Structure 1
Amino acid sequence: MSRRRIVITGLGIVAPGGIGAKAFWERITAGRTATRPITAFDASAFRSRMAAEVDFDASQEGLSARENRRLDRAAQFALVATREALGDSGLVLDGDPTRVGVSIGSAVGCTVKLEEEYVVLSDTSRHWEVDHRYASPHLHDYYMPGSLAAEVAWEVNAQGPATVVSAGCTSGLDSLGHACDLIREGGVDVMVAGGTEAPISPITVACFDAIKATSARNDDAEHALRPFDRTRDGFVLGEGAAILLLEELGHALARDARIYAEITGFAARSNAYHMTGLRADGVELAAAVTAALAESGLPAEAIDYVNAHGTATKQNDRHETAALKASLGDHAYRTPVSSIKPVVGHSLGAVGSIEVAACALAIAHGTIPPTANLHEPDPELDLDYVPLEAREGRISTVLSVGSGFGGFQSAMVLARPKKATV
């Protein structure tokens, strides 16, 4: 039995600096950063007071007044991105709804609404005792991460599998990998898949402040996130969503769909080492890359571009560089590598899907987005990190990698669509 192939036929993106795939692509290829002082709440008491925020007006993005009241910001992002992806694909979901599934990645779920509800329900005079009488009837939606997948499934009437994948900062990649598995297994033909995250809230900022993973360069928010740079000091929190319409190749060809790229390989590994620490040799990420290439049936030399995790923490950039050398060999020195996080920030469980969307667009446009803010290359890091300016050229095969707290390591290979028949 031949292996079922998976292609990307639609993209929907909600990102800092612009909503929609067109605005997103223009922003990342120009290298115009969207990091700035936090406006979502008063962050003056925090160590890191910056974020890449989405300028988002629910009513302007087609959400009803009820959806604006009821849904957490992460769910709103997911719905807006889903609607764009479906429209972009041209797919009309009027067939068997059980052949359509949903896979959504999120690291922290409905953080904003859950934190707001906790404040409303808490009585500080009684040692933060929760008073249930003031609870929103939608509190259960915010408490259960699975509600994110349920909302998307409801939106598109998907009655196949609906799942939330939560694996820290690789959630957005892993949700796509899970979606591919479901299509290959034959139970579905279409997956609405990706990641969504709206983590810019006091509790999340405090989490990363506590371990000093975020940049403290508050006086220069625009240039604070600088992967692979000698002066890097951590990431800047972001938010957003990317939803991809994935189809089995034959299903897409039967309706003459426009295809951005084929997902040819995916693999995930755990380092079983430390909750936030990384081995300097990058052995587990290298193993994920090697396995993804093996599933693709491609040699390392086939990779034309690597979309890096590129968080700008000291250890991640060393770990990732070592992993690429170990998995790609000498070809690592000839392969352009870049990170789009300086532009859109690090949106935790959403960023892997946002980066895969960037990879699909890179293939479609023949352009490699630059690593913004890379002015002083770290001499320890000696690969080609595409500093400051985008590069033009034919791109046939792209590798996107992710690394997350908890030791999660993931890699995905995308290829230019080839002429094919079924």
Structure 2
Amino acid sequence: MIRRRVAVTGIGVIAPGGIGRKAFWSLLTEGRTATRPITLFDATGFRSRIAAECDFDPAAEGLSPQEIRRMDRAAQLAVVSAREALADSGLETLVPARTAVTLGSAVGCTMGLEEEYVVVSDTGRNWLVDHSYGSPHLYRYLVPSSLAAEVAWVAGAQGPVSLVSTGCTSGLDAIGYGARLIAEGSADVALSGSTDAPISPITVACFDAIKATSANNEDPAHASRPFDGERDGFVLGEGSAVLLLEEWESAQARGAHIYCEVSGYATRSNAYHMTGLKPDGREMAEAIRIALNAAKLDPTSVSYLNAHGSGTQQNDRHETAAFKRSLGNHAYEVPVSSIKSMVGHSLGAIGSIEIAASALAIEHGVVPPTANLHNSDPECDLDYVPLVAREHRTDVVLSVGSGFGGFQTAMVLRAPQGKAA
């Protein structure tokens, strides 16, 4: 079977610190952080009271009162970012049957579900809830696939439509699946990305319980510190990014602006522990090896590593080991950075947000920095681009993700001048 090439021709982003891909890229290249005290609910009494929130007004972003009432915040973020990706691509006409949607989410419509539970249970006082107080849209909140359906309606997509939920690798895996649909000929266009809006009491309480999040409440702007020896956990975030993926020759024929090519993708599991990681990074290294093989690239061709970089000791050391195992000595020569230092960890959404950053790094020849990195962990001894963005020729980006459940994903993006995979 002939494997068709996959181009990225549109990018839509809603992230902490700015709405739209231009504001997002500005924040990253300036090394600014968007982490702050939680405002979406009263976090008094929680261990971690900080997050990276989006300054998002659905009405200002063009959603109607009916759409706002119907959609959970995660769906709203996805729809607005999908609209931006469509507009950015310049595609004026889509063939419905040849258009796919692959959307990722780790926690689905968490905010809508929690808000409705508070109402029907009278703020938790009633064990037997009164369903008559529930929203008529409650079913949409319960079923995560409603997120993908909302994006499909935006594009009129009648091809394959699916919701991918693989924890914190959901965004990477959704883009990988969308690229495969195009490569195998099942679709010509795919809106692929992810969304999560998890900044709610239930999510914050869950991460409080396992002490995974930072408790640096006094200095939220500097709380997310991937690879730093003084880090104390990740900072929860929210957001969405959707890419317009397109069959390469069609994109070229219509004169589309091509950001990059999705040239390699692989995912593996460690079959080990829900939250634990083996220190040798073997499974992530294997995903990297297979993704590079799919792209027909040597490890030494990688010019930027977009790290998972969550800011937990376990993860940072795990992926550092994986980079060394998979890239050998080249791991010491290639710049590595984590944008979670600036936009937090938006769970299932972060993978596609990081791919958007990677595509823009190729576009502009700039590597975003790892903010707040002042004192590197001695066991994390690679070039993590501390504090300040760096101009750097970026022809091949390797972006990785690691998710609860043992999921390990790697994706390779290549500059437009790259030859066919």
Give the Cα separation in 1 of the matches to 2:58 and 2:176.
Answer: 30
C-alpha displacement at 1:123, in angstroms? 4.6
- Paired position in structure 2 for 1:227: 226
- Answer whether contact 1:38 1:53 (CA < 8 A) is retained: yes
- Answer whether contact 1:93 1:156 (CA < 8 A) is retained: no
- Paired position in structure 2 for 1:41: 41
C-alpha displacement at 1:304, in angstroms? 0.2
- Paired position in structure 2 for 1:314: 313
- Paired position in structure 1 for 2:5: 5
- SS at 2:219's partner residue? helix
- Paired position in structure 1 for 2:145: 146
Q: How high is the TM-score relative to the length of structure 2? A: 0.98
- Paired position in structure 2 for 1:192: 191
C-alpha displacement at 1:2, in angstroms? 3.0
- Paired position in structure 1 for 2:63: 63
- SS at 2:218's partner residue? helix
Give the Cα separation in 2 of the matches to 1:343 and 1:137.
Answer: 37
Please provide the CA RMSD for this pair: 1.2
Give the Cα separation in 1 of the matches to 2:351 and 2:83.
Answer: 19
> 1:35-70 deviations in whole A, cap 9, x for unaligned?
000000010110000000001111111111111111
Stretches (4+) displaced over 6 A? none
> 1:353-410 deviations in whole A, cap 9, x for unaligned?
0000000000000000000000111111110000001110211000000000110000
The amino acid across from 2:46 in the alignment is F
Q: How high is the TM-score relative to the length of structure 1? A: 0.98
The 3 A distance-change label for structure 1 pair 125 and 329 is: closer
> 1:283-302 deviations in whole A, cap 9, x for unaligned?
00000000100100000000
C-alpha displacement at 1:93, in angstroms? 2.8
Give the Cα separation in 2 of the matches to 1:97 and 1:222.
Answer: 44
- Paired position in structure 1 for 2:295: 296
- Paired position in structure 2 for 1:367: 366
Give the Cα separation in 2 of the matches to 1:297 and 1:415.
Answer: 11
The amino acid across from 1:290 in the alignment is R
The answer for unaligned runs of 5 or more in structure 1 is none
Q: Where in structure 2 are the equivalents of 1:7-406 lying within 5 Å? A: 7-94=7-94, 96-123=95-122, 127-406=126-405
- Answer whether contact 1:78 1:196 (CA < 8 A) is retained: yes
Give the Cα separation in 1 of the matches to 2:124 and 2:317.
Answer: 48
- Answer whether contact 2:3 2:184 (CA < 8 A) is retained: no
> 1:225-251 deviations in whole A, cap 9, x for unaligned?
100001011000000000000001012
Give the Cα separation in 2 of the matches to 1:212 and 1:126.
Answer: 27
Give the Cα separation in 2 of the matches to 1:355 and 1:99.
Answer: 27
Aligned pairs, number: 420
The amino acid across from 2:70 in the alignment is R
Give the Cα separation in 2 of the matches to 1:141 and 1:276.
Answer: 29
Give the Cα separation in 2 of the matches to 1:41 and 1:382.
Answer: 38
- SS at 2:289's partner residue? helix
Give the Cα separation in 2 of the matches to 1:146 and 1:318.
Answer: 34
The amino acid across from 2:105 in the alignment is S
C-alpha displacement at 1:124, in angstroms? 6.7
- SS at 2:314's partner residue? helix
Give the Cα separation in 2 of the matches to 1:276 and 1:187.
Answer: 35
